[in-house]
Chain A
Amino acid sequence: MNEFALEFINISKSFPGVQALKEINIQIRQADVHAIVGENGAGKSTLMKIAVGEIIRDKGIIKIFGEKAQIYSPSDGYRYGISLIHQEFSLVSSLDIAQNIFLGREITRGYLSFIDNNVMYEKTEKILETLKMFHLDPHIKIRDLTVAQKQVVEIAKALSLNSRIIIMDEPSAALTLDETRRLFEVVRELKEKGVTTLFISHRIEEIFEIADEVSILRDGELILTKPVSQIDRKQVISQMVGRSLEFVFPPKAKQKKDSKIILEVKKIGKERQFSDISFQLKEGEILGLAGLVGSGLSEVAMALFGLNPLDVGEVYLHGKKVNIGSPFEAIKNGLALLPEDRRKLGLVIVRSVLENLTLPALYWHIARKYFINLKKELSLCRQVQQELSIRFASFSQKVESLSGGNQQKVVVGKWLMTKPKILIMGEPTRGIDVGAKLEIYNIINSLVQKGIGIIFISSEFSEILGITHRILVMSEGRITGELDPKNSTEEDILKYATRKKVS
């Protein structure tokens, strides 16, 4: 048998207007854990989808165990024993584990092809036993599983297909640290069985924890492939970004000495989400809220903006107690929320740039009575477009056709139009490229100079250190620490972010 389980040879792929992959050459050893890293848009997902036949390559050869593979559709991928586990799972939530694992290839018996449940559940049980880190009953419905458990079901499904190569697209993105650790146990077991694992990740730490080799992609090109023992964290990051880290963050805006407190939150809480949250925000301050996924950060943001009613606690704006029960009242009080989930909460992607830009401001500044002042609307939009240098062909263009960075700028723009005093930003740079990130940072700095207070929520710790004046760290719905970014490191944040409740 060949030493290499999977080889990409001169793989190229272009989409209209973008060269997604340029002559990629990677060789992946059998039973290795191989990490693929790169920024958003580097081409990682595209390459993985090409490997399983979900996207057809323009050029190049894929070899599996030394054999030239004809992979032109997902069923070809299965035939060669290669499976891709997506970020969005392809499981049917109303069916149970066994039914999902054997979906579309149910085991049947007799002329009428009745489903042979005994055999199906037995087989499922056997597969799940091999993944013993997670004890699962094959009769549990998918909808009752946690994200980590769903991932395990996907892995079980891949194993049931006799996959010898399993690709995972950001498996840890939605997992807690503990779950990630257990998932990695599963990966190690797979490795012992001779299964080859490729995984895409954003978290650099993970690569050093689990991977044997790492390949770094940038702008569709392979930068390097190396054993992890021959590379360190800093090198990985600088190769991913293509420049040294210090350059990424612009100098922070200076805070005035005598700035007033504009927002004060006292012991707010919501059952099962967060409790005992208190903090203050000054004008012109960038307050960082850091934490891992599931720490309650976005729930707090939604609550402040009236999208998630509070159980207890008080909120003061400019010293006055307020009760914000809806986004309408939040806007009225000078709040704005850049939501974490841009496509779900930030934009109406089927509508135009213009309509999206003015949506929240219409009532307050453009159409107080009934009719829209179209002239005023257009001129305000032009102003914002220039201020934020949003790039698009025309104001009537649909938002869905813009790049991620420009979409995010439209969301920033639409809130600037409401003239907010306090801007809550949830993961504002997620899913956008380095250039656009830098622009967003610059916008943030210019906003605080105007006296706007910003609550900056991020799970990227380097970013939060680079951009904020003060950091609060949350874990399991509580504030676990306050840090000064000037003399703190990512490790410090991580320490507080993983601190468990002491009871």
Chain B
Amino acid sequence: MRNLKLTDMIRQYGILIGLIGLISAFSILSERFFTLSNMLIVMRQTSVVAFLAFGMTFVILGAGIDLSVGSVLAISGAVCAGVMQNGNVFFAILAGLAVGSALGIFNGLVITKLRIPAFIATLAMMAIARGGTLVYTGGRPITGLPSSFAFLGRGYIGNIPFPIILMLFIFILAYIILKLTRFGRYVYATGGNIDAARASGIKVNNVIISNFAISGLLSGLTGIILASRLNSAQPTAGMGYELDAIAAVVLGGTNLFGGEGELWGTLVGAFIMGILNNGLNMLNVSSFYQQVVKGVVILIAVTVAQSGKK
């Protein structure tokens, strides 16, 4: 009984069709849109959301949610910049990544050991990490970063911006983890039915903690890349980014209740968010209206995805 119906097709590949439609529409409306240089700009913008969304994909596949990514990004970037001011660039980057991972692990521990719902635990972390960033920076940007640090956010390999290469690299790495490793299977199983996963001998708490650690690590990485791109760590960096990341994952077709979803969908979802930003800017749509458009696009996409499920 193999019947690949139209509705199934829409559910599986609808988001890809949506992306192509969006690109076509903007290409017709603005001749500057579909050019190589602009596409590279779009992809560089996308990379920031994509890093967060890749981590968020692990968390959501495991039936969790991480609202703290924007704040964790900010504190990781700030710590990285702070350490860099009186030290070595390499150690500063490691410090930033360590802060992100540690906060992610903390999220995971709170959720699994204290049995606090992910929504609440990460909402608290969102406030704690943002406050921590303000305390650490005194509310002022940290500037005066060495020029060798600029490569991460502004450098090129050949003609391609480094963040794009890093995005593709992490995509492939995350894809391999999800599809080819035992841990990846455990993520899907835990999110699909945590009781059955536990009864199958899976240490589900470890899986959940790992998911949040991955999300924290990638948030830290995003904070560092942003600091490099802006040549400073901003205390308000990443505000509201958690919503873009969640939107990218959901646009990509991942089930918010866990267990079902694909990483390539998240990548496409992140691109849609990036293209919307870029294209609407090119059409001189006011940033006020842009928010409205983004919201409407999310509603439409999720509605289409659900109609395919029935």
Residues of A within 8 A of B (CB): 17, 305, 307, 326-328, 330-331, 337, 339, 344-351, 355, 358-360, 362-363, 367, 370-372, 374, 393-394, 414
Evaluate contact between B199 and A305: CB separation under 8 angstroms.
yes
Evaluate contact between B180 and A372: CB separation under 8 angstroms.
yes
Evaluate contact between A360 and B200: CB separation under 8 angstroms.
yes
Instruction: Report the separation of the CA atoms of residues A55 and B230 in the bound assembly, to the nearest whole angstrom.
Output: 61
Give the residues in chain B near A355, CB-CB below 8 Å. 185, 188-189
Instruction: Report the separation of the CA atoms of residues A307 and B204 in the bound assembly, to the nearest whole angstrom.
Output: 13
Stretch of B39-47, B127-135, B190-198, B293-301 on the interface side: B190-198
CB of B14 within 8 Å of the partner chain: no
Within 241-268 of B, Cβ neighbours of A (below 8 Å) are at 255, 259-260
Evaluate contact between B192 and A327: CB separation under 8 angstroms.
no
CB of B183 within 8 Å of the partner chain: yes
Evaluate contact between A327 and B200: CB separation under 8 angstroms.
yes
Evaluate contact between B182 and A339: CB separation under 8 angstroms.
no
A-B contact list, 30 entries, CB within 8 Å: A17-B1, A307-B198, A327-B198, A327-B201, A328-B202, A328-B203, A331-B201, A345-B196, A346-B196, A346-B199, A347-B196, A348-B197, A348-B259, A350-B259, A350-B260, A351-B188, A351-B260, A358-B185, A359-B185, A359-B197, A359-B202, A362-B185, A367-B185, A370-B181, A370-B182, A372-B180, A372-B185, A374-B180, A393-B1, A393-B2
Evaluate contact between A351 and B192: CB separation under 8 angstroms.
yes
Instruction: Report the separation of the CA atoms of residues A376 and B188 in the bound assembly, to the nearest whole angstrom.
Output: 20
Q: In the A-B complex, list the 10 residue pairs whose CB atoms are closest, starting with the nearest.
A: A348-B192, A367-B182, A360-B200, A328-B201, A348-B193, A331-B201, A359-B200, A345-B199, A327-B201, A350-B259
Instruction: Report the separation of the CA atoms of residues A394 and B260 in the bound assembly, to the nearest whole angstrom.
Output: 18
> What's the count of A-B pairs with C-beta under 8 Å?
79
B194 to chain A, nearest CB (A): 9
With known contacts A328-B201, A359-B197, A372–B182 Cβ distance under 8 A: yes
Give the residues in chain A near B198, CB-CB below 8 Å. 307, 327
Evaluate contact between A330 and B201: CB separation under 8 angstroms.
yes
B47 to chain A, nearest CB (A): 27
Evaluate contact between A307 and B197: CB separation under 8 angstroms.
no
Evaluate contact between A344 and B196: CB separation under 8 angstroms.
yes
Evaluate contact between B199 and A339: CB separation under 8 angstroms.
yes
Give the residues in chain B near A345, CB-CB below 8 Å. 195-196, 199
Q: Which of B180, B188, B199 counts the most A-chain CB atoms under 10 A from its CB?
A: B199
Q: Which of B183, B201, B259 counts the most A-chain CB atoms under 10 A from its CB?
A: B201
Give the residues in chain A near B1, CB-CB below 8 Å. 17, 393
Instruction: Report the separation of the CA atoms of residues A363 and B188 in the bound assembly, to the nearest whole angstrom.
Output: 15
A324 to chain B, nearest CB (A): 11
Contact with A along B254-287 (1 / 0, CB 8 A): 0100011000000000000000000000000000
Instruction: Report the separation of the CA atoms of residues A135 and B185 in the bound assembly, to the nearest whole angstrom.
Output: 51
Give the residues in chain A near B185, CB-CB below 8 Å. 355, 358-359, 362, 367, 372
- Besides A327-B201, A359-B185, 18 more A-B contacts (Cβ < 8 Å) are A327-B198, A328-B201, A328-B202, A331-B201, A348-B189, A350-B193, A350-B259, A350-B260, A351-B189, A351-B260, A355-B188, A359-B202, A360-B201, A367-B181, A370-B181, A371-B181, A371-B182, A414-B200
